[in-house]
Amino acid sequence: MNISTKFPVAVHTLILLSVSEPGTATSEFIASSVNTNPVVIRRITGMLGRAGLVEARAGVAGSRLRRPLEDITLLDVYKAVNAVGEGELFAVHDSPNPNCEVGRNIQAAMNPIFIEAQRAMERVLENTTVAAVAGDVSQLEGLGGLEALAAICPPAPAGTSEAPGRE
Amino acid sequence: MNISTKFPVAVHTLILLSVSEPGTATSEFIASSVNTNPVVIRRITGMLGRAGLVEARAGVAGSRLRRPLEDITLLDVYKAVNAVGEGELFAVHDSPNPNCEVGRNIQAAMNPIFIEAQRAMERVLENTTVAAVAGDVSQLEGLGGLEALAAICPPAPAGTSEAPGRE
DNA sequence: TTTATTGAAACCATTGTAGTTACATTCCAT
DNA sequence: ATGGAATGTAACTACAATGGTTTCAATAAA
């Protein structure tokens, strides 16, 4: 069991948007960095768009950030892509036996704890911005910061799988 | 996406064990309270057994607690049934493009935060004992405590689905 | 008007969960 | 000892979710 990779892919996407020249971050380019299909990326940018984090228009190349990464928390992204539904991290078995004292009350007894546990997890995400993640990326790369990263990230890298190419 | 119901079912099972007379908590009885198949219960008691929380012997009816519920945290149960693997609550997309600065470092940048978020969630589970959940169950029932519950919980309740019965 | 791109629908392969059947093994009571 | 009941396990099925893929209409820019 694990949470959908839509979440980290969305973060990856936002970081790429922040370091890309306008009009260059197409779904195909992003897909080549994530190493997936452009449609998968469009599905995600669609969700990010509906959440107001990103903007794109049919026919015009690239998505654009609508807020600086400093103003986007991981929780914003997590919710935008619906990584885990509200109060749905844990599931209690449904229809336990109502004729048994335990079966009758187990759901009500467990739910508050499950909610609290999920909240604790989400609070950690809330306390980290995408900018912080981007900072870690550039740190790992041994660079000074986002600006430096922007200068180096290749506009159309060769994919590990089938390279989309720009012929 | 949500975590397997094995987890709440295991908690449900432990509470039943604590309020049942020795030899009466068979997989069939527990299944009738949880409203599932006895094999599902045996799979879970098997895992609880391997974790040292419970004991059962082939041929002899019922599982027995090996520790009081006060000494079993929800985290113990969660781990016993492998609700979420170690550091596996979140998954990062694998094989991002290594030719891109972002693709090359995104995993390392996100992982620590994911680990921390999972830990925060698990800490909440660690701070609650199964006894506390059992207490909530009996509170909801308007009873005094576990003892009272034990006296009332029917030995072989009629299931919501097919009743196993004791003919 | 041509071309590139987004947005969205539809479909498929893979995976994981839970339910189910079946059966060998073990123990207890007669 | 023998029969009945329960556990432990393997194998199979149904179902849902995920991610990848193909396809195409709509849009916009050159």
Confidence band, pLDDT 50/70/90 cuts, at residue A162: very low
* Best of B81, B100, B127, B130 to mutate (most A CBs within 10 Å, chain A): B100
pLDDT of A91 > 80? The answer is: yes
* Best of B89, B102, B104, B123 to mutate (most A CBs within 10 Å, chain A): B102
pLDDT for position A159: 36
A103 domain-assigned: no
pLDDT of A156 > 70? The answer is: no
Token digits for A124? 């950690």
Q: What is the rounded CA–CA span in Å between residue A135 and residue B108?
A: 12
pLDDT of B77 > 70? The answer is: yes
User: How many domains are there within chain B?
Assistant: 1
B163 domain-assigned: no
Question: pLDDT per residue over B64-76, tens digit each?
Answer: 999 999 999 999 9
A109 domain-assigned: no
Q: What CATH number does the domain containing A44 carry? A: 1.10.10.10
Q: What is the rounded CA–CA span in Å between residue B147 and residue B145?
A: 6
pLDDT of A154 > 90? The answer is: no
Residues of B 36-55 whose CB lies less than 7 Å from any atom of strand C: 36-37, 39-40
Can you give the residue range of the structural domain that contains A18?
6-84+129-152
Closest CA of chain A from B148, distance in Å:
11
Q: What is the rounded CA–CA span in Å between residue A20 and residue B139?
A: 58
With distances taken from each CA to the C1' atom of nucleotide D26, the closest residue turns out to be A58
B142 domain-assigned: yes
pLDDT for position B159: 37
B161 domain-assigned: no
Cβ neighbourhood burial of B15 (10 Å; 0-12, 13-18, 19+): buried
If you average pLDDT over every residue of chain A, what do you get? 88
